[in-house]
A and B are shown apart, each in its own frame.
Chain A
Amino acid sequence: MTLDAAGLLAILPLLIIGAGTMAVMAAIAMKRNHKAAAALSFAAIIVALISAWMPSSVGTRAVTPLLTVDDYSRFFTTVLLVLSAGVILVSFAYLDTTAARREEYYLLLLTGTIGALVLPSASHYVALFLGIELLSIPLYALLAYLPHRERPLEAGLKYLVLAGASSAFLLFGIALLYAETGSMAFGAVAAGQLATPAMVLILVGLGFKLAIVPFHLWTADVYQGAPAPVGAFIATVSKGAVIAVTMRLLFESGALSWTAVRMLLMIMALGSMFAGNVLALMQTNVKRLLAYSSISHLGYVLMGIQIGGALAVRAVAFYVMAYTASVLLAFGVVSALSAGQKEPEELSELEGLFWTRPWMGVMLTLSMMSLAGVPLTVGFMGKYYLLAAGADSSAWLLSIGLVVTSAIGAYYYLRVVVAIYSSPPEPTQAYQRVTWPASFALMLATAVVLWLGVYPRLGLHRLDLAGSLRSAEQRSTATTR
């Protein structure tokens, strides 16, 4: 299939971010200016966001065998672009006070975003691999972006080594599958001996990126070591994109109906829920705590994927949005308060935050409550939809797992809240003054967390998310016939 004009239009967001990256690079070459680089990157993302929803972009369209643009990919593209924009806003002030060379950061961020944007529309293993690598490689550099600090460097190297290893598993799985079917399309139906081991290997690779038990060990170190805005990028954009592609892959390949894969997904989901929540119980470092909490939240997402069905697809889509908005808020507050070389990441450093920085305190509280799933926040809605999907298909074990582990999890989120409202230490913490781009991003995230908790109407039902996946499934069965 050749690339025609309509196809180009459909993948316009990708092209725009690509062009934006070039433009930022050219701008840096001409003159170093932090503001200009940030503004240009931000503008590229906004334009891409608009282009994703042009009137011409409706329905499902295969753009080359690699990509499929449909409601599903458009939804995730939107979410990922908004998150990237948020990360840029949060990064701006942070970099101003910390890094010597700031402009290249945006190049890396935009490149990572391109990789993330490839994933939701990937319908071919080549696109999957390209997307994942394009997302990961800039991350290595981003993690170690503050080279004079010890922890980021360590985090970057750890991530590099482990991501390399996991990519190898992924590739091996893809190779096995290719040997079986002779096709690299997701929809290629594999039924032979090698199909299950191949899919298991692919899940290992993806499970690493998602930090699912037992591939979760890197998370805590990397989250802790990462500069807070980069942590936000990993926790939101990177996770969201990989979830999107994992779900599409499992649906379109039909692997979701294989007993072995279902069993594995269930074990991974339950394991992540429990391990993540229990490990976080004793944490005093907020970034580590968020890392462990992300493990448990990814477990919930995996539960939704494992359940399958239209309701579950919508629940997962909603949950991704809910979780990423909440966690962006948490990382955003930490970045916004970071002064110079020091990030306020220990609980003791956040004590009395409410009394010195009331708005930041309230925002961090909201984020924690949303992560804990307290009603009237978007986190509760996310869990509700997942539970409803669980009840819909009688997935009782997973549903009970979700309820029980969120009850356990409430404890450590509460510890953060208690610290925020306890009496401020003497002398009070020196926090960075919060700049307007960061406050804008934080306010937006707060609005999402609150508004979608009270009025969770996104018109998600108008988007045919599951339809996109189902039709692909039907397509694939049709081709075999």
Chain B
Amino acid sequence: MNFLDSIWMIPLFPAAGAILMLLFGKKLPKAAVSVICPGTVLVSFLMSLGAVLQLARLSEHSYEKILYTWLPGGPFHLTNGQMGHLQADWGFLLDPLSSVMILVVTGVGFLIHVYSVGYMGHEAGYHRFFGYLNLFIFFMLTLVLANNYLLLFVGWEGVGLCSYLLIGFYFLRDSATKAGIKAFIVNRIGDAGFVLGVLLMLATFGSLRFTSVFGEVNRQVETGLLTSGDATVALMTLLLFIGATGKSAQIPLYVWLPDAMEGPTPVSALIHAATMVTAGVYMVARSNVLFSLSPQTMAMVAGVGALTAIFAATIGLAQYDIKRVLAYSTVSQLGYMFLACGVGAYGAGIFHLMTHAFFKALLFLGSGSVIHALSGEQDMRKMGALRHKIPVTFWTFFIASLAIIGAPPFAGFFSKDEILWKAFSAETHAGLLLWVVGFVTAGLTALYIWRLVFLTFFGQSRVDHEVEHHIHESPKTMTIPLMTLAVLSIVGGWVGWPRILGGSNRLETWLEPVFEHSSKLLAHEAEHGAAAQEYLFMFLSVAVGAFGVFIAWYFFIRRPEAADRIVQTVPGVQRLLYNKYYVDEVYNAVFVDGFAKGGGTALGRFDARIVDGGVNGSAWLTLLTSRLSIWWDTWVIDGAVRLSSFTVKVLSYPVRLLQTGLVQVYALFIVFGVLIFFSYYLIR
């Protein structure tokens, strides 16, 4: 079978599953739902695998399949005066970058589907949940397989919508609905930036198709029309990056992700750790040709990434909700990925995206298993000593925790080390600073994750008494995905085994065709710096991880009272971290109460006065009339005599017609508008 030619079918299977579930799910037996939904994703995974294997045998490592012309269009003026052709296809592009993405999405997606069969088994709305989940996979696959920015946007919005639906899945819980809305709104801010960026791209390069846009950019670079630092490209990439900060939860738009943990845990694992939140990183890596042309934006990307990484990691230190710690950890790890993209190491960013998908999905699913065992308890202060009671969960969680801190030879070691090394060796002034931030964050990561491990699995049991009896290991449908992901968290990084350790870094070689043009633009890509230095850095990052684990062990196992003493000596810091630097409160005060409610109420009040009338309205009316009459006298002289007499008639006529009696205000407003327009005309 020619899998390459049928890549357009890959997203269709989950779509069919979703439609089936949402239309007829109620009537289907539970067992059928449990087979169909994971099954569709499995089929997609196998087809993706087939397609990627066939892609590897092609010489040019890129395959485009256009299904039909989605948006036909005509000739189109570009900003440079030339003509372009406006058109967007429903087309798919399989290249090394999207092949990594589809394998992660369908592979991890399938495992999480299987896990959900066990986890959601007792929930009402079982078929609805799987319907949304399948729908999400459809949109995510559309996002990563799209061959143009517009279709990518379809997926982009679609995953946002599904994310909103799934966060609010427990819609009876008020906080869940609120979190869903928050996610949607914050994402809309980012989306506005993304749309404007795409629009600017359309006007500048005359196409939205990846191959055409990047081909055009490369052509213009070669002919010298476009040089590094071009202002239009800088603006364009900046706008795109705003979109990425929304979707991938970076400063300043990260606030929705921790709240999104209100959704069911498999959702957190799939959408808010492994797939959707990495869409921003994917989009930046996809647009690498453009980003590399703009050193300003690149510095911004790296800076925001590094800042988010360390900022979120510190918040993670003081949280007690097991899922919130992981949520901040995700924000922090996404920061690493942007840091990599910002220094031009797109390959490293995608590598970390992949390994992170494995171990973070595992951490979330493991936490879900813990919560499941403890009948819904999420507070780590009410856990402890669980390692013997739920051994499979413990050991898989243990492996994931080693992977995330970058202990060799677990997956995270290779990807995180590569990012740190690339950050340092990037020839920017800030290279050392970026490395230091990344290095400190690595230590903090070890600290907060192992704090979580020690509080949950070691020490004394602080579990509530009645919950204690129910503790049980999760069913097979949950533990098998855990074990599979644990294996991936170990071996998943080996595809990127660095050359200096005797490997061949196959992932980087595989991804190279996608990034080759930006490598040319960013001349520093050539490996410089001695091998000895690289060994040293490798050792340092492992050491800081070990140090973090040691600190966590000391404070939470060896001397638990010491931790309390520290908290007591500097209570402000702890409170600041626990309350997440009060960012939510500030945003709330400024944007929600300030602009939205304030503006809405102000305009609404204005509206209410005019529309619904009342005492205030009449006062306002008097004021307006007197103002108007002054205006009137001024402008009447200029020749609208007939107009004025006519208007007076209009004004007096309907006064007693209606009890609310405010129609005249509407009419007055029309006159008012005319006057404004005329004043413009006359002043001009």
A residues sitting closer than 8 Å to B (CB atoms) are 154, 157-158, 161-162, 164-166, 168-169, 172, 196-197, 200-201, 203-204, 207-208, 214-215, 217-218, 220-221, 260, 263-264, 275, 278-279, 281-282, 310-311, 314, 374-376, 381, 384, 387-388, 390-394, 399-400, 403-404, 406-407, 410-411, 414, 418, 421-423, 454-457, 461
CB distance B670 to A204 under 8 Å? yes
B604, CB-defined interface residue at 8 Å: yes
Beyond A154-B660, A264-B680, A421-B171, whether A204 also contacts B673 by CB under 8 A is: yes
Q: Is the interface of A mostly helix, strand, loop or mixed?
A: helix
Residues of B within 8 A of A384 (CB): 71, 150
B371, CB-defined interface residue at 8 Å: no
CB distance B646 to A407 under 8 Å? no
B86, CB-defined interface residue at 8 Å: yes
CB distance A197 to B607 under 8 Å? no
CB distance B642 to A172 under 8 Å? yes
CB distance B611 to A217 under 8 Å? yes
Which one of B191, B199, B670, B684 contacts A391 once the chains associate, using CB atoms below 8 Å? B199
B626, CB-defined interface residue at 8 Å: no
* Smallest beta-carbon distance A213→chain B, Å: 8
Which one of A161, A393, A457 contacts B654 once the chains associate, using CB atoms below 8 Å? A161
Beyond A391-B203, A456-B71, whether A217 also contacts B666 by CB under 8 A is: yes
Beyond A154-B660, A196-B681, A260-B680, whether A461 also contacts B74 by CB under 8 A is: yes
Beyond A204-B677, A375-B154, A410-B185, whether A388 also contacts B670 by CB under 8 A is: no
> Could you tell me the distance between the alpha carbons of A201 and B71 in the complex, rounded to whole angstroms?
38
CB distance B666 to A162 under 8 Å? yes
Residues of A within 8 A of B642 (CB): 172
Residues of B within 8 A of A166 (CB): 670
Given A394-B77, A410-B188, A457-B72: 14 more A-B contacts, CB < 8 Å: A161-B667, A162-B670, A164-B650, A168-B650, A169-B674, A200-B681, A204-B673, A215-B673, A282-B604, A381-B71, A388-B73, A407-B191, A414-B184, A421-B168
> Could you tell me the distance between the alpha carbons of A291 and B631 in the complex, rounded to whole angstroms?
30
CB distance A423 to B172 under 8 Å? yes
Beyond A279-B607, A391-B202, A410-B188, whether A260 also contacts B684 by CB under 8 A is: yes
CB distance B667 to A162 under 8 Å? yes
Q: 1/0 contact trace for B665-684 toward A, CB 8 Å?
A: 11101101110111011001
| Stretch in B270-278, B343-351, B383-391, B595-603 touching the partner | B595-603
Beyond A200-B681, A374-B157, A407-B191, whether A215 also contacts B670 by CB under 8 A is: yes
* Smallest beta-carbon distance B245→chain A, Å: 15
Interchain Cβ contacts within 8 Å, total number? 161
B70, CB-defined interface residue at 8 Å: yes
B624, CB-defined interface residue at 8 Å: no
Beyond A162-B666, A215-B670, A423-B171, whether A393 also contacts B77 by CB under 8 A is: yes
> Could you tell me the distance between the alpha carbons of A172 and B678 in the complex, rounded to whole angstroms?
14
B657, CB-defined interface residue at 8 Å: yes
Residues of B within 8 A of A400 (CB): 196
Residues of B within 8 A of A208 (CB): 670
Number of interface residues of B (CB under 8 A): 68
* Smallest beta-carbon distance B35→chain A, Å: 24
* Smallest beta-carbon distance B265→chain A, Å: 21
Beyond A201-B674, A278-B599, A399-B199, whether A215 also contacts B680 by CB under 8 A is: no
Which one of B185, B200, B599, B663 contacts A158 once the chains associate, using CB atoms below 8 Å? B663
Q: 1/0 contact trace for B568-607 toward A, CB 8 Å?
A: 0000000000000000000000000000110111011001
* Smallest beta-carbon distance A315→chain B, Å: 10
Beyond A275-B603, A407-B192, whether A214 also contacts B672 by CB under 8 A is: yes
CB distance A214 to B669 under 8 Å? yes
Residues of A within 8 A of B677 (CB): 200, 203-204, 264
Q: Is the interface of B mostly helix, strand, loop or mixed?
A: helix
Beyond A281-B596, A403-B196, whether A161 also contacts B653 by CB under 8 A is: yes
Name which residue of chain A comes closest to B653, CB basis.
Answer: A161
Name which residue of chain B comes closest to A415, CB basis.
Answer: B181
Among B599, B643, B653, B681, the one with the most A-chain Cβ atoms within 10 Å of its Cβ is B681
CB distance A220 to B172 under 8 Å? no
B398, CB-defined interface residue at 8 Å: no
Residues of B within 8 A of A457 (CB): 72
| CB-CB contacts below 8 Å: B624-656 with A | 642-643, 646, 650, 653-654
Which one of B158, B181, B200, B663 contacts A375 once the chains associate, using CB atoms below 8 Å? B158
Name which residue of chain B comes closest to A400, CB basis.
Answer: B196
> Could you tell me the distance between the alpha carbons of A200 and B610 in the complex, rounded to whole angstroms?
25
CB distance A161 to B184 under 8 Å? no
CB distance A388 to B202 under 8 Å? yes
* Smallest beta-carbon distance A417→chain B, Å: 9
B161, CB-defined interface residue at 8 Å: yes
Residues of A within 8 A of B185 (CB): 410-411, 414
CB distance A200 to B674 under 8 Å? yes
Beyond A260-B680, A282-B604, whether A172 also contacts B199 by CB under 8 A is: no
> Could you tell me the distance between the alpha carbons of A162 and B665 in the complex, rounded to whole angstroms?
10
* Smallest beta-carbon distance A466→chain B, Å: 10
Residues of B within 8 A of A158 (CB): 658, 663, 666
> Could you tell me the distance between the alpha carbons of A390 and B199 in the complex, rounded to whole angstroms?
9
Among A158, A260, A394, the one with the most B-chain Cβ atoms within 10 Å of its Cβ is A158
B367, CB-defined interface residue at 8 Å: no
B76, CB-defined interface residue at 8 Å: yes
19 A-B interface contacts by CB (under 8 A): A154-B658, A164-B650, A165-B667, A197-B681, A207-B673, A214-B673, A260-B680, A260-B684, A281-B596, A376-B154, A391-B203, A392-B86, A400-B196, A407-B189, A410-B184, A414-B185, A421-B168, A423-B172, A455-B68
CB distance A279 to B604 under 8 Å? yes
Residues of B within 8 A of A455 (CB): 68, 70
> Could you tell me the distance between the alpha carbons of A166 and B663 in the complex, rounded to whole angstroms?
13
Name which residue of chain B comes closest to A221, CB basis.
Answer: B611
B195, CB-defined interface residue at 8 Å: yes
> Could you tell me the distance between the alpha carbons of A20 and B669 in the complex, rounded to whole angstroms?
39
CB distance A220 to B72 under 8 Å? no
> Could you tell me the distance between the alpha carbons of A400 and B200 in the complex, rounded to whole angstroms?
11
CB distance B192 to A422 under 8 Å? no
Beyond A264-B677, A374-B157, A411-B185, whether A387 also contacts B654 by CB under 8 A is: no
Residues of A within 8 A of B610 (CB): 217
Name which residue of chain B comes closest to A404, CB basis.
Answer: B192
> Could you tell me the distance between the alpha carbons of A375 and B155 in the complex, rounded to whole angstroms?
8
Residues of B within 8 A of A375 (CB): 153-154, 157-158
> Could you tell me the distance between the alpha carbons of A374 and B610 in the complex, rounded to whole angstroms?
33
Name which residue of chain B comes closest to A352, CB basis.
Answer: B171
B79, CB-defined interface residue at 8 Å: yes
> Could you tell me the distance between the alpha carbons of A305 and B20 in the complex, rounded to whole angstroms?
43
B177, CB-defined interface residue at 8 Å: yes
* Smallest beta-carbon distance B166→chain A, Å: 12
Among B185, B202, B677, the one with the most A-chain Cβ atoms within 10 Å of its Cβ is B677
CB distance A422 to B171 under 8 Å? yes
> Could you tell me the distance between the alpha carbons of A421 and B167 in the complex, rounded to whole angstroms?
13
